[in-house]
Amino acid sequence: MLAIGAKGVVMSSDKIAIDARMVVSRQYGIGRYLYNMLRKLFELDHNNQYSLIVNNDYLAPLAEKAPNCRLVKTDIKWLSLSEQWRLPALIRELKPDLFHAASIAVPVIQPVPTVATVYDLIHLAYIDSHYLGYLAYYQLILRPALRRTRRVITISENSKRDLSTYLGVPPKKVVIASPAVEPEFRPIADRGLIESFKSARGLPQRFILYVGNRKKHKNVSGLLAAFARFRQMTDRPLSLVLAGRADQATSSMIAKLGLNDAVRFAGEIGETELPLLYNSAEIFVFPSFYEGFGLPPLEAMACGIPVVASNNSSLPEVVGSAGLLVSPHDPQAIALAINKILASPDLKNDLSRQGIARAREFSWERCAKQTLGAYQSAISSS
């Protein structure tokens, strides 16, 4: 289809359906990525017509601001067996020029040109995440589905390599659309605000911070071991703060290491509080074994907080030279990196400045443009 754009220029106009059923919150993972990408996409593209397939009204305020966007509500459950035939039926009914499966819920039957987003392959790449259900899904559903898609979007060079290694996706078929951080993640100059937040949360005056879940690949056990070694090599009065509520497994590890008096749980942190939590910290440590991207280090850097992160998977792409990269398998190396930053005010300030600059290199506008480019390429390819 054709439409008349700005200044009378003839532009192509396509109907694009996007599966957004997984967006139920902006606080974590896929939902946050897709919400921010869509927000910027609708700001940039007033030409194509978008249908967002949803299970709820969470994206209604976003769609209401975009005259070229509508919500299509369905009761098709995300990552259900029935979506493999019900989703293609809905796509046939909508008759779009392109369908975007914005998560690993990719139908094998694809009535129209299809783009899929695969964020990471942790269940294949990280051995402790080898769950039988995921393995079966990846091999029996996702692999043949990706073979049929026109383009595959992912979020890092590391995930692009994994797509080729584990699922045989040709690199030329893959488009990288990396995430970014929201403007709220920035240095907060109002120290009174920071102190009030710490007081309300019962946080220590000076602390090392970890933000993320506590799944095995996040290596919280390695972080605790490194913190114990750090305490042995210095008398600096720093605590370790873990975002989220206490859990039995982590509490047991803390007790075994004799760290009960030095580790705090920050409790559940809301979207508006997260920048305050980062700004309250002295240093951020993220010793994950595997990441598809690794947003928490980028958030910390955007807030001007020095970062120690793993030297594997996608994290070197995210952190670059703006933080200290260490082996997540070596608690001593992690402890030494923490101590190195805290022992040198010049290094700490330098990493703070570099981190802020590094975070600015990632933008949701670029992410949306890369996604739009994938759409255009998929529609035009034979």
> Do 331 and 217 share a structural domain?
yes
**Residue 378, pLDDT score:** 96
> Do 167 and 233 share a structural domain?
no
The one-letter amino acid code at 238 reads L
Q: Quick check: is 340 in a domain?
A: yes
Q: Would you state the structure tokens that stand for residue 93, as one six-digit string?
A: 């009914």
Q: Quick check: is 185 in a domain?
A: no
**Residue 237, pLDDT score:** 87
Question: Which among 342, 336, 337, 292 is positioned nearest to 317, based on CA atoms?
Answer: 292
> Do 376 and 294 share a structural domain?
no
> Do 156 and 223 share a structural domain?
no
CB neighbourhood size of 1 (10 A): 11
Q: Would you state the structure tokens that stand for residue 336, as one six-digit string?
A: 């030494």
> Do 283 and 137 share a structural domain?
no
Q: Quick check: is 226 in a domain?
A: yes
> Do 153 and 38 share a structural domain?
yes
Residues comprising the chain, all counted: 382
What pTM was estimated for this model as a whole? Answer: 0.92
> Do 344 and 214 share a structural domain?
yes
Q: Quick check: is 368 in a domain?
A: yes
The one-letter amino acid code at 290 reads Y
> Strand 49-54 relative to strand 69-73: parallel, antiparallel, unpaired?
parallel
**Residue 135, pLDDT score:** 85
What domain range is 298 assigned to? 191-359
> Do 111 and 224 share a structural domain?
no
> Do 345 and 208 share a structural domain?
yes
> Do 217 and 201 share a structural domain?
yes
Whether 212 and 288 have beta carbons less than 8 Å apart is answered as yes
For residues 31 and 12, what is the distance between their CA atoms, to the nearest angstrom? Answer: 29
Whether 35 and 62 have beta carbons less than 8 Å apart is answered as yes
Q: Residue 254 is part of a domain; what is its CATH number?
A: 3.40.50.2000
**Residue 26, pLDDT score:** 67
Q: Quick check: is 92 in a domain?
A: yes
pLDDT along the chain (382 residues), means of 10: 39 88 81 95 96 95 95 95 96 98 96 97 79 85 97 97 96 97 96 95 96 94 98 92 96 97 94 95 97 96 98 97 97 98 97 98 97 96 70
Q: Quick check: is 39 in a domain?
A: yes
For residues 122 and 52, what is the distance between their CA atoms, to the nearest angstrom? Answer: 27
> Do 229 and 352 share a structural domain?
yes
> Do 244 and 137 share a structural domain?
no
N-term to C-term CA, the chain: 17
**Residue 44, pLDDT score:** 95
For residues 329 and 245, what is the distance between their CA atoms, to the nearest angstrom? Answer: 25
Q: Quick check: is 35 in a domain?
A: yes
Q: Give SS3 for 25.
A: coil
Overall domain count for the chain: 2
> Strand 114-117 relative to strand 98-101: parallel, antiparallel, unpaired?
parallel
Q: Quick check: is 214 in a domain?
A: yes
